Amino acid sequence: MQHWDKPRKPSPVIFLSGLGDVIRESVGYLFLLALSFFFRKENPGSASSKGAFWAYAIGGFLALVLLLKSAKIFAWFFTRYWVEKDKIILTSGIFVKSRVELALSKIQTIQVHQNLLHRLTDTCRFVLDTAGSEKPEFVIDAMRLDDARALQQWIRNQENTVLQSANEEETQSILSLTGMDYLKLCISENHFKSLMIIVAFVIGKAQDISERIGLDSFGFLKENTERMMVSVTALTTLIIFALLISIVFSTVRVLLRFYNYRVLRRKETYEWSWGLFTRQRKSMPFAKMEFISWSANWLRGKWDLFVLRIHSLAESETNVALHMQMPVTSRQMLKSIAHQYLPELPSETGEEATGIQKAYFYRFMAIGSLVFIPATLGLAWWFTWKALGVLILFGYLLVSRYVAYRNFKIWLRTDALQMEKGVWGRNNMVVSLDKVISVNLKTSPFQRANGYANLQVNLPGDQYEIPYLTKETAADWADLILQRIEE
């Protein structure tokens, strides 16, 4: 039994961890410094002092970095953590002292990360997250793994005394991925998105290099592109090459995200662990689950493969620190995990879903026609038949809108709201009505004239809008949700 009320130091591995951080943060600058040296214009008169100048420059630079980052390297001397009554405290800093106090009851997630250094030294990075800010408030870069696990368990026990009797026998493994699952995940990844990430990265780096060493990388690219003959073979080769790169990149992304992915169900919490180079572990008590969502693109939908997210308090969809994301490989598993949040998913009760009104599509068609048809006619004056491309785009948008209208389904029961939407893929969201913060009813002049309204449901940190309900349905649903919040 460990006592947490006495101040403790982190593991001495924090020296190495800090040094690693410093090297990682400086290596980019050193690389640029080396590039500048390599590409600089030769000045015959200064050859003798060249070596000395660069030695001083690099030495001075390293000294500056060490000074600025000394807090990280020497964190062991100045970092302490302990528990006082119902809060955990972390003090740190050499020049700028900081003291973080977190109420145990406000802790949303507990994360344990292990990179290679941590694994070799049996330590970990320990992170406590509340809903208070974008970044985690409590971070210890190196803590003994046993200590981290004991502290994790201790905090959860304090949150719920029932847990005091919890033991390892009550742990149930509910998810681990097979080789086939990885293959499906890799194939069904969004390769176009991967390609865009690569392009953005390459452009960003080219711009960096251009600015730092005065090379006109864009000019170089443009010159060479203009020289190249655009033939069908060249274009096909380029597309195949881009596709291959993006598939490889997607595969790496999937492996980094989901390698050795495991989900455990303990008595009162879910626990996730994953990672190839950096092993990460997160836990979230069932009581902190605010709402859940899952999504699948077209291909994943066909394979019953979903990405499930369990959202914690008061942060948006994009803040990954506060939601748990996991690949789920069957509907049965999805139901099993969701069961902890809601005994029965509204869509599984056999009740018929409510759709949205067709005016959602007609209005888009009317407004789109007013914009796209004159635009096509106008552009045809200059571009002749090529202007038909605008009409084709409009056609695609119309089809997408119609499919979106058909796919929009809502199940509202007295205990929960479920929403399913999407054009080619599907996104689902389920929220227990007692977690809803507030509701808004929104109407445009067109909607008022025709008796429609949008219902906006505000959740902790996020909001979902159900468009084009009949005005009466929207009002009834708003009243029902308000009543459930009060009960």
Partner 1 sequence: MTSFTNPQVFPETMPRHSGVALQSIEPAYRKVMMLNRIIFWLIVAVLFAVAWQFLVPAEAKFWFGIAALVFVLSGLGLGLFTASKAFENMGYALRQHDVIFRKGWLFEKLHLVPLKRIQHCVVKRSPLDRQFGLASLKIFTAGGAGADITICGLALGDAQALKDFLLQNPPDSFPQTEQEENAALG
Q: Which of residues 295-314 bind partner 1 (CB under 8 A)?
A: 313-314
Does residue 133 interact with partner 1 by CB under 8 A?
no
- Can you tell me which of 439, 467, 468, 469 binds partner 1, judged by CB under 8 A? 439
Closer residue to partner 1, CB minimum distance, 250 or 418:
418
| 337 lies in the binding site for partner 1 (CB under 8 A) | no
466 binds partner 1 (CB under 8 A): no
Does 193 interact with partner 1 (rule: CB under 8 A)? Answer: no
| Helical packing angle, 232-258 and 191-213, nearest 10° | 100
Work out whether 462 is an interface residue with partner 1 (CB under 8 A): yes
Q: Does 438 bind partner 1 (CB under 8 A)?
A: yes
Is 348 an interacting residue with respect to partner 1 (CB under 8 A)? no
**Does 461 help bind partner 1 (rule: CB under 8 A)?**
yes
Binding status of residue 42 toward partner 1 by CB under 8 A: no
* # of chain residues touching partner 1 (CB under 8 A): 33
Structure tokens at 130: 């509340």
Give CA angle at 280 (279, 284), nearest 5°: 155
Smallest gap from residue 487 Cβ to partner 1 (A)? 10
Nearer to partner 1, 254 or 412 (CB): 412
**Binding test (CB under 8 A) with partner 1, winner from 14, 300, 437, 469:** 437
- The three state secondary structure string of 244-289 is HHHHHHHHHHHHHHHCCCEEEECCCEEEEEECCCCEEEEEEEHHHC
**Binding status of residue 442 toward partner 1 by CB under 8 A:** yes
In angstroms, the first-to-last Cα distance of the chain is 41
What gap in Å lies between CA 353 and CA 412, rounded to an integer?
A: 8
Site for partner 1 in 360-419 (CB under 8 A): 413-415
- As a whole number of angstroms, the distance between CA 239 and CA 187 comes to 17
Closest to 448 (Cα-Cα) out of 409, 484, 475, 481 = 475
Instruction: Give me the torsion for CA of 390, 395, 401, 406, rounded to 10°.
Output: -170
Please give the distance of CA 182 from its chain centroid, rounded to a whole number.
19
292 binds partner 1 (CB under 8 A): no
* Contact between 445 and partner 1 per CB under 8 A: yes
Least CB distance to partner 1 at residue 474 (A):
10
SS3 163: helix
Q: How far apart are CA 92 and CA 98, in angstroms?
A: 5
Please give the residue ranges that form the binding site for partner 1 (CB under 8 A): 313-314, 316, 343, 413-415, 437-445, 448, 456, 458-463, 475-476, 478-480, 482-483, 485-486
